[in-house]
Every structure is written in C-alpha cells, then in structure tokens.
Structure 1
Amino acid sequence: MSVGPFELLVLLVVLLLVVGPTVLPRITRNLGKSVGSFQQGMRDHDDRVAERPVEGTLERTAPPAGSPRAELPPRDGPSGEV
C-alpha cells in the first residue's frame, strides 16, 4: 500500500488547516531532521553490526556423521524404488 500524490495533497491541505501557515514550515523542517537522524542511526547500527566479529562460528565443528543406513532396520513391503 503506497501513498499517491493525491493523498499527499489532501494530507498537506488538512495539515495546513489544522496548524496554520506559520507553524507548518517549522513542523516539516523538524520532521525532515528527525527522518535524517533516524536514517543516520540505522546506518551507524548497520556499520557496528558489520564490524563485530561473529563469535564461535569457525571454532565449532559438527560431530562426525555416522552411517545412518547401517543403523536402520530393514523395511517391510515395497521399497518405493523404480
């Protein structure tokens, strides 16, 4: 769901009627600064996560696999092979 140009125009007109023409520029300026600050914080967070080493993933190994076919009991009935 996206907001089209008509919806933005209606929202701007309603906002203009509610807060008035003198306050609207200050509100939009503060909103723009807030969005920019949020985006900068997200970039900083992504950078910190990318720099942090992943602990223990290279040191751990999976246990050796056994022979599962040798441990299975024989099947009764058709094997399903063609």
Structure 2
Amino acid sequence: MSIGPWQIILILVIVLIIFGAGKLPRVAGDLAKGIKNFKKGMADEDEPKAADAAPEALESAKSDAAEKKDKAAQG
C-alpha cells in the first residue's frame, strides 16, 4: 500500500487549513532547521575522537606558552 497523489494533496490541504498560508514558510523553515541540526548531531557522533584530541592540543599549547614565559623571565 503506497501513498498516491490524491493522498498527498489531501495531506497538503489539511496542513494548509491547520497552519494557514501565512505560517507555512515559518513552519517549513523550522522543519529545515530541525533536519539540519539532526544531521549535524549525527555527524558529531561519528567523530568523537576529534573532539577528545582538541583539549589535549590546547593543554600542550598552554604549557608551551608557560615555559616560554618562564624562560623569558629568567633570561
């Protein structure tokens, strides 16, 4: 059992009646943002190791800067 063109037209008419013509662009934009955020969240789950490596690199950069300041203060 598949959805035919008449069923799609009926669904669109019901949506138009519920939301009205003025709110449809906003509803569509919100739906698009939701889908984009969902895809971004799924992509973030695939790369957790890259997020874990970033704090280590930041920490080593901080320690390097601290060492340079100590050497400059001594010399």
Unaligned runs of 5+ in 1: 53-82
- Equivalent pairs counted in the alignment come to 49
Q: Name the structure 2 match of 1:43.
A: 43
- Structure with larger Rg: 1
Percent sequence identity is: 33
Q: Deviations over 1:4-50 (max 9, x none)?
A: 462433222110011110011100110011011101100111122xx
Give matches, 1:25-40, under 5 Å: 25-40=25-40
Root-mean-square deviation (Å): 2.4
Which amino acid counterpart does residue 14 of structure 1 have in structure 2?
I
Unaligned runs of 5+ in 2: 51-75
1-structure distance, mates of 2:45, 2:31:
21
Q: Name the structure 2 match of 1:9.
A: 9
The TM-score, its normalising length taken from structure 1, stands at 0.49
Q: Name the structure 2 match of 1:23.
A: 23
The TM-score, its normalising length taken from structure 2, stands at 0.53
